[in-house]
Amino acid sequence: MSLAASTLSRTQWAELEAMLRNESDVAYRRRVRTIFSYLELAPGQTVLDCGTGMGFYVRAIAELYPSCRVYGLDYEERVLRYGQQHLRGRQVLLVRGDVHHLALAGESVDRVVMSEVLEHLADDRAALAEVWRVLKPGGILALTVPYKHYPYWYDPINRLAEDLFQRPIRRGPFAGIWANHERLYDQEGLLEVVRGAGFAVERCDLLTHYCFPGTQTIVYTLGKTLVERNLLPEFVSRSADRFRGRENRGSRLNPVNWMLALFHWIDRFNEDPKPFADNVGQDGRDEAVGKPSTKRTFVNLAVKARKV
């Protein structure tokens, strides 16, 4: 995602890249860039991150736009406690809650982030209707979900399970892209749900075709466990922890940096994809433009939608 596609200044974009320096999941890295290119953030806005998890988005927004009022919502107390450790001194409020029943007044929020959340929800339509309620007219929803047709090399374990047994692995250390998910999405299904909640869709992009084989297992089954349990030496952790990107000085003596360099080099082949895009037509209806990518598998779908 290019700087030209974002409202971030060149300095802010450089800061975001520094935060992402340790990111070994190139799909996550690309999702973050895309979300920020969609949001059209401005100082003083109110931003809600639904399903904030450990709080990367709220932390980044608070640092790049200190005057914004930033809220992070999640249902799991464990991840909120972990996230709070990274937010000391920042104007961010993390709260436990249910996206289906937001404790916010109608038309009180300027921007909503929902990254890798909708697929966890039993009633995705009701959740989006609630998000529509709290957004101000003209407010933007930036959304990503896992794509139904994901690359074999991203999560080979689940792709093999689907091919052989006609069902994915949803629980346990090898759940991968299907971990605790109700569904994955294709383009038509996601756009139907978003539009059904009353949103006008401005973009729908396919993200991340190329990646290092087994990225999902390497990053989340192995790497995440080691980082969260503090099982890595400190000099390695500085290059492996998602929240410590600025501390990574790029030492060539650190083997994690070798891995990051390889992963990021492969990610370069994902630049300038041909997206499936939606734009609002002159008559106010959203209409499809552009052509689908010639590639058939991607890790994510991303949508920029507006309350009109």
Render pLDDT for 228-273 as a digit per residue (tens, 0 to 9). 777 788 878 888 889 899 888 888 888 889 999 999 999 999 985 4
pLDDT level of residue 89 (50, 70, 90 thresholds):
low
Question: Model confidence at 295, in pLDDT bands (50, 70, 90)?
Answer: confident
Name the residue with tokens 């090898």: 174
pLDDT band at 44 (very low <50, low <70, confident <90, very high): very high
User: Would you say residue 232 lies in a domain?
Assistant: no
104-127: string of b/e by CB count within 10 Å (b at 16+)? beeeebbbbbbbbbbbbbeebeeb
Task: Report if residue 247 sits inside a domain.
Answer: no
- DSSP code for 273: -
Q: What is the pLDDT at residue 287?
A: 41
Contact 32, 60 (CB under 8 A): yes
Does residue 274 carry a pLDDT above 50?
A: no
What's the CATH code of the domain at 129? 3.40.50.150
Total of domains in the chain: 1
pLDDT tops 80 at residue 14: yes
Query: Is residue 253 domain-resident?
Result: no
Residue 29 belongs to some domain of the structure: yes
Q: Specify if 260 maps to a domain.
A: no
Cβ-based neighbours of 126, under 8 Å, separated by 6 or more: 100
Contact present, 262 and 256 (Cβ < 8 Å): no
Q: What is the pLDDT of residue 231?
A: 77
Question: Among the listed ranges 133-137, 267-271, 273-277, 278-282, which one has the minimum average pLDDT value?
Answer: 278-282
Helices (H), 53-116: 56-64, 77-84
> Per the domain annotation, does 221 fall within a domain?
no
CB 199 within 8 A of CB 289: no
| pLDDT range class, residue 304, cuts 50, 70, 90 | very high
> Looking at the predicted structure, is the pLDDT value of residue 282 above 80?
no
**Cα→Cα distances 71→50, 62, 101, Å:** 8, 10, 15
Range of the domain at 85: 3-154+183-214+271-307
Q: Which ranges constitute the DSSP H helices of 89-245? A: 124-134, 156-165, 187-196, 215-216, 224-228, 234-240
Residue 80 lies in a domain: yes
Q: Dihedral through CA 55, CA 177, CA 170, CA 125, nearest 10?
A: 70
Sign of CA dihedral 11, 16, 22, 23: negative
Of 89-93, 161-165, 194-198, 298-302, give the lowest mean pLDDT range.
89-93
Does 6 score more than 50 pLDDT? yes
Give the residue with greater pLDDT, 235 vs 197: 197
The share of the chain scoring above pLDDT 90, in percent, equals: 69
In whole numbers, what is the pLDDT of the chain averaged over residues?
Answer: 88
Whether residue 284 has pLDDT greater than 70? no
* N-terminal to C-terminal alpha carbon distance within the chain: 25
Do residues 276 and 205 make contact, with C-beta atoms less than 8 angstroms apart? yes
The token pair at 300 is 């994510």
Q: How far apart are CA 110 and CA 257, in angstroms?
A: 38
Q: At 5, is the pLDDT very low, low, confident or very high (cuts 50, 70, 90)?
A: low
Taking alpha carbons only, the member of 205, 204, 200, 197 closest to residue 283 is 200
pLDDT for residue 208 is more than 90: yes
Residue 45 located in a structural domain: yes
